[in-house]
Amino acid sequence: IDSEDDLLQECISSAMPKKK
């Protein structure tokens, strides 16, 4: 099971802009 911090980080990263 992912830790809370990992889940949060994953959530934040999913919304970050990607390299064009």
Partner 1 sequence: PDLHLVRWAKSLHSLLGDQDGAHLFRTFLEREKCVDTLDFWFACNGFRQMDLKDTKTLRVAKAIHKRYIENYSVVARQLKLATKFFIRDCMKRQQIDSTMFDQAQAEIQTLMEDNAYQMFLTSDIYLDYV
Which residues would be at the binding site for partner 1 (CB under 8 A)? 4-5, 7-8, 10-20
Cα Rg of the chain, angstroms: 10
Rounded CA separation 10/5 (Å): 8
For the CB of residue 4, give the shortest distance to partner 1 in the complex, in Å. Answer: 4
**At closest approach, how far in Å is the CB of 17 from partner 1?**
5
Q: What is the closest distance, in whole angstroms, from the C-beta atom of residue 6 to partner 1 in the complex? A: 9
Closest CA to 12 of 1, 20, 4: 4
